[in-house]
């Protein structure tokens, strides 16, 4: 056995598949177009926040120690803020990278040929997920650091240690949010044989949660609206009920988490009674307290992502992969 043959024998198939999937994504036009759109919109929102940051800070009195975080949250009204763009376009990125992960391989007849090799079936599914997640992570970290770099050049103020950590936490939450949609799109690519069907199912799910679900919650909230003579506790219970319905939607969990992480002034994500408010001192929460405040939202996103991945894994391991 020659040296090259021994090297090939020692090469594990999993990293090879991951590198191949990353290369295919980078070379695809749909990924190039989508990442260009996301980059342009994010830098447009950055320009909007930079041109108005001084005016907004003076009028609203933001704490100067967290001035750098305003680059991700401020807007002049012409364009949404950076976090709004990520919350809107992030799901499309996850859907684009996963809606044809499995069914396209089966339609082209390459899935059965891959499985004919000494490759475990779960290697393929894990490699496709890891390759897409790697690209998503790199893209979000690059965008986040570019925003920080332009902010330093424009304002001349470097971020503090806590600001930097908050921005990193925001990027990690964004990656987790997109990973949920990536896993959901991979699940649909396993369940539906046609790529068009899986893409439409993903987009329909995204539109339902983005538009129609909020309309349904509004109808339910109006039907259960307390009377004019309701007690304060009944009003608080009603608000908590509406918030619980809204937080079924992954986008609401993402918005709550990112808003709390990038706005240290946020001290609560729900209604508070007078007893809870009495005696509190207005101030900014440290990073640890902000993370504890959004821990239920993070747990919900992690659970939804794990459930989608588990269903994808279970379905793919039991699926008939022969081409028809």
Between these two residues, 3 and 126, which has the higher pLDDT value?
A: 126
Alpha carbons 94 and 47: distance in angstroms, whole number: 26
Tell me the CA distances in angstroms from 241 to 93, 97, 226, 257, 261, one per residue in order: 32, 35, 12, 19, 24
Q: Could you report how far apart the first and last alpha carbons of the chain are, in Å?
A: 39
Per DSSP, helices labelled H in the chain are: 3-10, 13-27, 29-60, 70-73, 82-98, 103-108, 110-115, 121-155, 161-191, 195-207, 213-223, 232-246, 250-262, 274-277, 287-293, 295-317
Average per-residue pLDDT for the chain: 80
Q: What is the pLDDT of residue 11?
A: 65
Q: Which of 118-127, 180-189, 306-315 has the lowest mean pLDDT?
A: 118-127
Instruction: Provide the Cα torsion 276, 278, 283, 286; round to 10°.
Output: -30
Q: What is the pLDDT of residue 270?
A: 61
Q: What is the pLDDT of residue 283?
A: 65
Q: Which segment, 73-77, 144-148, 300-304, is predicted with the most confidence on average? A: 300-304
Does residue 122 carry a pLDDT above 60? Answer: yes
- Mean pLDDT calculated for residue range 46-66: 62
Tokens for 131? 């390759």
- Mean pLDDT calculated for residue range 248-260: 89
**pTM for the full model?**
0.87
Does residue 1 carry a pLDDT above 50? Answer: no
Nearest of 226, 80, 64, 82 to residue 155 by alpha carbon: 64
Q: Could you give the 3-state DSSP secondary structure of residue 11?
A: coil
**Is the distance from CB of 97 to CB of 31 less than 8 angstroms?**
yes
Between these two residues, 123 and 53, which has the higher pLDDT value?
A: 123
CA angle 159, 163, 166 (to 5 degrees): 145
Q: What tens digit of pLDDT does each residue of 150-183 get?
A: 878 877 778 888 889 999 999 999 999 999 999 9
For residue 3, the number of C-alpha atoms closer than 13 Å in the C-beta half-sphere is 0
Q: Which of 135-149, 155-169, 172-186, 227-241 has the lowest mean pLDDT?
A: 227-241
Q: What is the pLDDT of residue 62?
A: 47
Q: What tens digit of pLDDT does each residue of 205-215 get?
A: 999 998 899 88
Nearest of 176, 109, 101 to residue 136 by alpha carbon: 176
**Sign of the CA dihedral running 147, 148, 150, 155:** positive
- Mean pLDDT calculated for residue range 177-203: 91
**Is the distance from CB of 166 to CB of 69 less than 8 angstroms?**
yes
- Mean pLDDT calculated for residue range 252-258: 89
Question: Tokens 């919900």 label which residue?
Answer: 300
- Mean pLDDT calculated for residue range 201-205: 92
Q: Which of 83-92, 254-263, 276-285 has the lowest mean pLDDT?
A: 276-285
């Amino acid at each position: 056995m020659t040296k090259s043959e021994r090297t090939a024998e020692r090469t594990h198939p999993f990293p090879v598949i991951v590198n191949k999937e990353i290369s295919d994504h980078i070379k695809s036009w749909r990924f190039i177009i989508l990442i260009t759109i996301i980059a342009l919109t994010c830098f447009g929102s950055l320009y909007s926040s930079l041109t108005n940051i001084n005016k907004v800070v003076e009028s609203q009195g933001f704490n100067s120690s967290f001035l750098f975080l305003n680059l991700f949250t401020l807007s002049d009204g012409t364009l949404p803020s950076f976090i709004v763009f990520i919350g809107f376009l992030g799901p499309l990125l996850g859907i684009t990278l996963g809606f044809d992960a499995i069914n396209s391989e089966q339609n082209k007849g390459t899935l059965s040929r891959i499985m004919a090799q000494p490759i475990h079936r779960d290697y393929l599914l894990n490699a496709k997920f890891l390759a897409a997640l790697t690209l998503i992570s790199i893209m979000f970290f690059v965008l986040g650091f570019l925003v920080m770099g332009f902010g330093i050049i424009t304002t001349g103020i470097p971020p503090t240690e806590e600001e930097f950590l908050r921005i990193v936490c925001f990027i990690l939450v964004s990656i987790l949010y997109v990973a949920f949609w990536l896993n959901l799109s991979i699940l649909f690519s396993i369940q539906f044989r046609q790529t068009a069907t899986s893409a439409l199912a993903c987009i329909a799910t995204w539109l339902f949660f983005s538009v129609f679900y909020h309309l349904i919650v509004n109808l339910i909230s109006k039907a259960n609206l307390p009377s004019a003579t309701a007690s304060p506790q009944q009003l608080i219970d009603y608000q908590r009920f509406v918030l619980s319905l809204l937080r079924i939607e992954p986008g609401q969990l993402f918005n709550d988490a990112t808003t709390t992480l990038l706005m240290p002034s946020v001290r609560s994500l729900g209604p508070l009674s007078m007893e809870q408010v009495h005696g509190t001192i207005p101030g900014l929460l440290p990073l640890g307290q902000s993370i504890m405040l959004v821990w239920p939202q993070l747990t919900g996103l992690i659970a939804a992502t794990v459930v989608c991945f588990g269903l994808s894994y279970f379905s793919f391991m039991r699926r008939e992969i022969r081409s028809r």
